[in-house]
């Protein structure tokens, strides 16, 4: 199985940005955690992070026909991006939405997710563990929440 983990804007700043919300671990720590989890399950995983909406759309399109699933934390684009939503729908790959925090318990503008209904499941408010649950879900080992 081949998976792509996409992180959107400002997630490269993990460990520095608002640690009381996102924790003190870095983006490199996050990738290492997911890599180890995938290694244990013999999953081939690649990572992509960008602060640019169109670049994320390009990466989703590039996965079409090559990979088996996508784990995506679109960051702030969750709440604004029709283009990322349309890309997920266009490629038709099983995709899972992840958030480190729980946007539904934060500011009102975070309560809307443009990607949620084109994703198979959402894991939010679980810290980095949400990414591992998303991987497990795509392997058929984790129930939908």
Is the CB of 37 or the CB of 110 nearer to ligand DHK? 110
Q: Which of 48, 77, 99, 131 is catalytic?
A: 99
CB of 20 to ligand DHK, least distance (A): 12
Q: Tell the smallest beta-carbon distance from residue 135 to ligand DHK (Å).
A: 16
The residues of the shown chain that bind ligand DHK, judged by CB under 6 A, are: 10, 73, 75-76, 78, 99-101, 103, 110
Phi and psi angles of residue 104, each rounded to the nearest 5 degrees, phi first: -70, -15
Q: Which of the residues 22, 48, 77, 131 is marked catalytic?
A: 22
Q: Phi/psi at 126 (nearest 5 deg)?
A: -110, 10
**Paired tokens of 95:** 């995709």
Tell me whether residue 99 is one of the annotated catalytic residues.
Answer: yes
The residue (of 15 and 68) whose beta carbon lies closer to ligand DHK is 15
Q: Which is nearer to ligand DHK, 85 or 99 (CB)?
A: 99
**Least distance in angstroms from the C-beta of 6 to ligand DHK:** 12
Q: How far is the CB of 55 from ligand DHK (least distance, A)?
A: 16
Three-class secondary structure of residue 5 per DSSP: strand
In the block, residue with structure tokens 């983990």: 5
Cβ neighbour number for residue 127 with a 10 Å cutoff: 13
Q: Which is nearer to ligand DHK, 69 or 74 (CB)?
A: 74
Burial of 134 (0-12, 13-18, 19+ CB in 10 A): buried
Spatial neighbors of 61 by CB under 8 A, at least 6 apart, are 87, 90, 91
Which residues does the annotation mark as catalytic?
22, 99
């Amino acid at each position: 199985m081949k998976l792509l983990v996409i992180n959107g804007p400002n997630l490269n700043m993990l460990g520095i940005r608002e640690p009381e919300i996102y924790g003190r671990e870095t983006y490199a720590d996050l990738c290492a955690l997911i890599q180890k989890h995938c290694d244990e399950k013999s999953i081939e995983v690649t990572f992509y992070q960008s602060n640019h909406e169109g670049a994320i759309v390009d990466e989703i399109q590039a996965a079409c026909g090559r990979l088996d699933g996508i784990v995506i934390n679109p960051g702030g684009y969750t709440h604004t991006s029709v283009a990322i939503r349309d890309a997920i729908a266009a490629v038709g790959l099983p995709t899972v939405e992840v958030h480190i925090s729980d946007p539904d318990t934060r500011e009102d503008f975070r309560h809307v997710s443009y990607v949620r209904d084109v994703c198979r499941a959402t894991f939010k408010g679980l810290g980095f563990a949400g990414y591992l649950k998303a991987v497990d879900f795509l392997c058929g080992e984790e129930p939908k929440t």
